[in-house]
Amino acid sequence: MASSILSRCAFAAFASIAAISGACAETVEEFYKKKSELSVYVGSGAGGGFDEIARVFSVHFARHLPGQPGVVVKNMPGAGGLLNVNFMYAQAPRDGSAIAAPFNTVFMLPLFGDPAAKFDERKFTWIGSLDKQTGTCVVWHTSDIKTLEDASKRDVQVGATGVNATPAIFSNLMNTLFGTRFKVISGYTTNEMRFALERGETEGVCGLAWQTYKAVQPGWIENKLIRPIAQMGLVKNKDLPEVPLAIDLLKDPAARKVFELVVLPQEFGRPFIAPPDIPADRAAAMKKAFSETLTDPAFLADAAKIRLSLDPLTGDEIVNLLNEAHKAPQDVIDRAAKFSVVN
């Protein structure tokens, strides 16, 4: 009997402490008011399409977070986007005070066995993606290259920010599956890559998204300064009805599966993530803020100003895509890895 009474007393005491603790727990709104700033780490240099879109989106996104923190954008380019994502996984605070606008392609590298990718892509707090991407092979308008077949007849110098960046990955993919002769010149910043094309230092870019050109270099499109010769998505972009979809030119079913796996990240082309293991209530607030931002008239007006198209995916939908990628046959994964991992 005494033991039973003591047990009931202990439980009552524990319940009282839990109630006091719960009453004193910090709400999401209190956290962001106290923190006052949301750090947004952009995986590219300043001035690129990812950077501009991240800056526009994050201001509106923060307004929809409880407590409405201010925004501090921090550019973190390097290693084709790996520097940014590795930092978010291992070093960024896991309290909800940091998010990132990373390059989409790097999230396949752990699956492909790249030792430089020190993260499990499925463990991030996936907030959502603003848009799909359509990687394109383009050449400057003065080039005599008009088709992929032309690009298989001679060397074509193309720019890239890094060996694991999308333009390098897709150039390598096209060379192997289509016999093109793209010669990648890497090490540019995002802006320098475009300036190099204007200066004639390179002849094209293979892999930069058509949406990026629309957002950052609309004059190139309006004045026909670039000529797209192939698009590398899974579905044709409505803006490019006459430009061949590369996957349609592949007849070998195994090659098509490899192509699909390599280009899959375009389905979540403009992602936003937070580190793993942030408090559940703050993660939920971020996902809610993402959804609300997409219907915010002020954001939609600003998105139109920078020619940002919107074809969003939720964080859960992105995780489902990544889980499906992990179900691919190992031989397909191994072949796809050869296009993305530099040994």
Tens digits of residue pLDDT in 137-158: 999 999 999 999 999 999 999 9
Q: What is the CATH number of the domain that holds 58?
A: 3.40.190.150
Last residue of a domain, one of 203, 231, 265: 265
Task: Please check whether residues 48 and 106 belong to one and the same domain.
Answer: yes
pLDDT confidence tier of residue 341, bands split at 50, 70 and 90: low
Asked if the structure places residue 24 within a domain, the reply is no
- Is the per-residue pLDDT at 30 higher than 60? yes
Task: Please check whether residues 275 and 127 belong to one and the same domain.
Answer: yes
Asked if the structure places residue 9 within a domain, the reply is no
pLDDT confidence tier of residue 7, bands split at 50, 70 and 90: very low
Asked if the structure places residue 233 within a domain, the reply is yes
Domain count along the chain: 2
Contact 16, 10 (CB under 8 A): no
Task: Please check whether residues 128 and 275 belong to one and the same domain.
Answer: yes
Task: Please check whether residues 156 and 209 belong to one and the same domain.
Answer: yes
pLDDT confidence tier of residue 343, bands split at 50, 70 and 90: very low
Asked if the structure places residue 159 within a domain, the reply is yes
The percentage of residues in the chain with a pLDDT greater than 90, rounded to a whole number, is 74
Q: Which residue has tokens 């039973």?
A: 4
Which tens digits make up the pLDDT trace of 231-285? 998 889 989 999 999 999 999 998 999 999 999 999 999 999 999 999 999 999 9
Asked if the structure places residue 259 within a domain, the reply is yes
Higher pLDDT, 9 or 90: 90
Asked if the structure places residue 104 within a domain, the reply is yes
- Can you tell me the mean pLDDT for 2-11? 42
Asked if the structure places residue 25 within a domain, the reply is no
Locate 113 and state its tokens: 């066995």
Task: Please check whether residues 275 and 300 belong to one and the same domain.
Answer: yes
Is the pTM above the cut of 0.85? no
- Can you tell me the mean pLDDT for 308-324? 94
Task: Please check whether residues 166 and 218 belong to one and the same domain.
Answer: yes
Task: Please check whether residues 212 and 115 belong to one and the same domain.
Answer: no
**Angle, vertex CA 169, rays to CA 272 and CA 144, nearest 5:** 120
Last residue of a domain, one of 237, 265, 293: 265
Report the distance separating Cα 322 and Cα 19, nearest Å.
40
69 Cβ contact partners less than 8 Å away, ≥ 6 residues apart: 32, 33, 35, 36, 37, 38, 62, 97
- Is the per-residue pLDDT at 16 higher than 50? no
Q: What is the CATH number of the domain that holds 234?
A: 3.40.190.10
- Closest C-alpha to 44, from 184, 261, 209: 209
Task: Please check whether residues 237 and 143 belong to one and the same domain.
Answer: yes
- Is the per-residue pLDDT at 163 higher than 90? no
Asked if the structure places residue 82 within a domain, the reply is yes
Report the distance separating Cα 87 and Cα 47, nearest Å.
21
28 Cβ contact partners less than 8 Å away, ≥ 6 residues apart: 65, 66, 67, 96, 281, 282, 285
- Can you tell me the mean pLDDT for 111-130? 96
Task: Please check whether residues 261 and 298 belong to one and the same domain.
Answer: no
Last residue of a domain, one of 265, 282, 312: 265
Domain containing residue 207: 135-265
Higher pLDDT, 11 or 204: 204
Task: Please check whether residues 298 and 319 belong to one and the same domain.
Answer: yes
pLDDT for 56: 96
Which tens digits make up the pLDDT trace of 184-217? 999 998 789 989 999 999 999 999 889 888 878 8
pLDDT for 143: 97
Task: Please check whether residues 117 and 144 belong to one and the same domain.
Answer: no
The percentage of residues in the chain with a pLDDT greater than 70, rounded to a whole number, is 92
Which tens digits make up the pLDDT trace of 55-106? 999 999 999 999 999 999 999 999 878 999 999 999 999 999 999 999 888 9
pLDDT for 50: 81
In b/e form, how buried is each residue of 63-87, taking b as 16+ CB within 10 angstroms? Answer: bbbbbebebebebbbbbbbbbbbbb
Task: Please check whether residues 255 and 205 belong to one and the same domain.
Answer: yes
